[in-house]
């Protein structure tokens, strides 16, 4: 069994490789402390033009018009038929997100990050990411400092700055203003062509057949 664990630890996706990753996470916890952020990134490949591009669909990625996109059912078929292309799409997207957001300093200076990839029920990939921020607070120190109002306010301000569901440049605009600025409305293809979805801080998503 020991030999099986040793060999299996180098086989991506195997139970043994997961065991190796857990050991590595424990080592990071021992070496630099507990992680500060737990992030899950779950790309919607069925609705992403880049995924269609990797699957061989001829798209102008700099100017994607709604008429160029297939129906939701057809896009789901394309995703299911091109697992390797979807894995490449996932890798490119996740690498870009980590470089731009995590290593780029959006959440502040980072000591380390560790991610694991899993397949969910529908077969697509998603990432669980642990992030260690560059600070010297131990859990005991954080527990003690959180009792002071100044530290609590600073922590809340930091969290509100990095956890968002909007874009800074658009948050003070109405949905109508955002639509007028856009060349195309945000389009969500769905079976019900009459449904109009609107959400605060987001452009409207017009469902088309």
Q: For 34-86, what is each residue's pLDDT tens digit?
A: 899 999 999 888 888 888 888 888 777 777 666 567 788 888 888 889 999 99
The sheet carrying 205-206 orders its strands as 186-187, 205-206, 196-197
In a domain, 188, yes or no: no
Q: What is the pLDDT of residue 186?
A: 41
Residue 114: pLDDT band (50, 70, 90) is: very high
Q: Is residue 43 located within the same domain as residue 120?
A: yes
Q: What average pLDDT does the structure give for the chain?
A: 77
Q: What is the pLDDT of residue 207?
A: 32
Q: Is residue 62 located within the same domain as residue 111?
A: yes
Q: What is the pLDDT of residue 27?
A: 92
Residue with tokens 């990753």: 21
Q: Is residue 50 located within the same domain as residue 19?
A: no
Q: What is the pLDDT of residue 182?
A: 53
Closest CA to 47 of 188, 170, 152, 173: 188
Q: Is residue 127 located within the same domain as residue 50?
A: yes
Poorest-confidence range of 33-47, 178-192, 194-208? 194-208
Q: What is the pLDDT of residue 187?
A: 38
Residue with tokens 């470089």: 99
Give the pair of three-digit tokens for residue 91: 């890798």
H or E stretch including 130? strand 125-133
Residue 161 has pLDDT above 80, yes or no: yes
In a domain, 167, yes or no: no
| pLDDT cut 90: percent of the chain above it | 25
Q: Is residue 61 located within the same domain as residue 118?
A: yes
Q: What is the pLDDT of residue 66?
A: 60
Q: Is residue 69 located within the same domain as residue 111?
A: yes
Q: How far apart, in Å, do the first and last CA atoms of the chain sit?
A: 55
Q: Is residue 75 located within the same domain as residue 27?
A: no
What phi, psi does 62 have (nearest 5°)? Answer: -85, -10
Residue 128 has pLDDT above 90, yes or no: yes
Q: Is residue 39 located within the same domain as residue 11?
A: no
Positive or negative, the Cα torsion across 60, 66, 70, 72?
A: positive
Highest-confidence segment of 2-11, 63-72, 152-161: 152-161
In a domain, 1, yes or no: yes
Q: Is residue 14 located within the same domain as residue 44?
A: no
In a domain, 155, yes or no: no
Q: Is residue 11 located within the same domain as residue 67?
A: no
In a domain, 142, yes or no: no
Q: What is the pLDDT of residue 171?
A: 62
Domain that holds residue 15: 1-32
Domain count, the chain: 2
The arithmetic mean of pLDDT across residues 119-146, rounded, is 87
Q: Identify the domain boundary among 110, 133, 156.
A: 133
């Amino acid at each position: 069994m020991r030999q099986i664990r040793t060999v299996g630890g180098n086989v991506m996706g195997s139970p043994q490789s997961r065991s190796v990753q857990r050991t590595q996470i424990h080592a990071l916890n021992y070496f630099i402390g507990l992680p500060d952020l737990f992030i899950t990134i779950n790309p919607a490949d069925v609705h992403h033009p880049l995924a269609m591009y990797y699957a061989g669909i001829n798209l102008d990625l700099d100017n994607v018009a709604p008429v160029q996109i297939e129906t939701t059912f057809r896009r789901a078929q394309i995703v299911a038929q091109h697992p390797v292309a979807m894995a490449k799409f996932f890798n490119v997207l996740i690498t870009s997100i980590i470089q731009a957001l995590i290593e780029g300093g959006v959440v502040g200076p980072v000591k380390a990050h560790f991610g694991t990839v899993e397949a969910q029920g529908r077969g697509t990939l998603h990432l669980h990411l642990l992030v260690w921020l560059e600070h010297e607070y131990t859990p005991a120190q954080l527990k003690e400092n959180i009792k002071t109002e100044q530290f609590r306010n600073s922590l809340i301000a930091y969290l509100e700055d990095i956890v968002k569901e909007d874009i800074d440049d658009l948050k003070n605009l109405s949905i109508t203003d955002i639509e007028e600025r856009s060349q195309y409305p945000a389009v969500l293809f769905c079976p019900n062509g009459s449904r109009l979805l609107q959400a605060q801080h987001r452009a409207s998503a017009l469902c088309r057949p």
